[in-house]
Amino acid sequence: MIHFQHVSRNYGNRVAVRDLDLSIADGELVALLGHNGAGKSTTIKMLVGLLRPSAGTVSVCNHIVTEHPREVSRLIGYVPDQPYLYDKLSGREFLEFVADMYGLSSTESQEAIERESQRFELTGFLDQLAESYSHGMRQRTVFAAALIHLPQILVVDEPMVGLDPHSIRLAKDLLSDYTRIGKTVLMSTHTLSIAEEISDRVCVMKLGELVFDGKVDQLRKEISGAGESLESLYLALMED
């Protein structure tokens, strides 16, 4: 479903992502881990079409992102680390705008808004202007917008930042449930406990390179003696 083939990306002289080869299949929940500046956000931005690779190709369902950005956008729902909403629109108006852009009919749009507002418990503030929303309310609205068209792939950059425990529970359940219906989730996070709890596979990046790609059990076997938790394994991997 998602293929990164020999993908590199530079910022001036600095290499942010180096020769990345990564494939993610249907129904997988993959957690992308790494220190700050490891290249996680750059990888995600190349996937959603915000950045072009300096070398290599990124494709989604056999569509190369740089050649078919619009088609790829239809297949992806993206939740950025900093949610953007129009201050002078209510949550409902924003969701209607996004649904319209995905080509949903009026009836489909209303059904989808109802579905997502139930799922993310938005009903209490959906008709207020977004300028009055807290960070958590914004994040939940952006989650709803990313899922309004039930995308084949959900890409989430730091999903738990600023969320309260209840919203974190909501988000975790959502991500797990979403892969159960055959959809794919790529999540970049620093919250290792959540990555361990819900992901099928973890990919660890270090200084722009993919240094591990596999299940947590596999990592335990590779780094024996570092401990059982993903946190201790991750830290041991980073120290190498």
Partner 1 sequence: MRETAPHLEQLFERLPSHEREGQIFWKLRSRMGRNHLNYLLTQARLRTSLVIGLSTFFWLGLFVLFYSGFNFVVGQLGQPGETYHAQTVQFVFTLFFVSLQVMLIFSTGIILYGSLYSSQETAALMTLPIRDERLVFYRFQEALFFSSWGFFLLASPMMVAYGIVVHAPWYYYVYLPALMASFTYIPCALGAIFCLFLIWGLPRLRRIIVGLFALSVIAVAYHSIWRTLDIADADLLGAVWFRETFHRFEFTRGEWLPSTWLSNGLLEAARPQSPDPADLPWVESGKYLIVLLSNALILHLAVLWTGRSWFRTSFSGMNSQQAREIRPRSAWIDRISEHLLVAFPKKTRLLIMKDLRLFRRDPVQWSQFLIFFGLLLLYFANVDRFRQHRTDISVLAWVNIVSFLNLAVVGLILSTFTTRFIYPLISLEGRRFWILGRLPVERDTIIWGKFFFAACGSWLPSAALVMISDLMLDVSPMVVVVHQLICLLLCIGLSAMAVGLGALMPNFSDQSPSKIAAGFGGTLNLVLSALYILVVVFLTALPCHFFLLAGHTEIPPKLLRPNFLRLWLSLGLGISLTVTCLVTIIPMRLGLKAFRRLEV
Which chain residues interact with partner 1 by CB under 8 A? 9-14, 26-27, 48-52, 54, 61-62, 66, 69-71, 73-76, 78, 80, 82, 84, 86, 88-90, 93, 97-98, 100-103, 129, 152, 181-183
Q: Please, which residue, 48 or 194, has the CB nearer to partner 1?
A: 48
- 63 and 234 Cβ atoms separated by less than 8 Å: no
Instruction: Quote the least distance from Cβ 110 to partner 1, whole Å.
Output: 15
Q: Please, which residue, 88 or 221, has the CB nearer to partner 1?
A: 88
Instruction: Quote the least distance from Cβ 76 to partner 1, whole Å.
Output: 7
Rounded to whole angstroms, the Cα distance separating 169 from 173 reads 6
Instruction: Quote the least distance from Cβ 48 to partner 1, whole Å.
Output: 5
**Closest to 185 in 3D by CA, of 73, 82, 84, 78:** 78
The DSSP line for 205-227 is EETTEEEEEE-HHHHHHHSTTS-
Dihedrals phi, psi of 230, to nearest 5 degrees: -60, -35
Specify the residue for token string 């990888």: 43
Rounded to whole angstroms, the Cα distance separating 208 from 191 reads 19
Q: Please, which residue, 51 or 171, has the CB nearer to partner 1?
A: 51
Q: Please, which residue, 150 or 235, has the CB nearer to partner 1?
A: 150
Instruction: Quote the least distance from Cβ 12 to partner 1, whole Å.
Output: 3
Q: Please, which residue, 76 or 210, has the CB nearer to partner 1?
A: 76
Instruction: Quote the least distance from Cβ 112 to partner 1, whole Å.
Output: 14
**Closest to 76 in 3D by CA, of 193, 184, 188:** 184
**Token pair for residue 121?**
């418990």
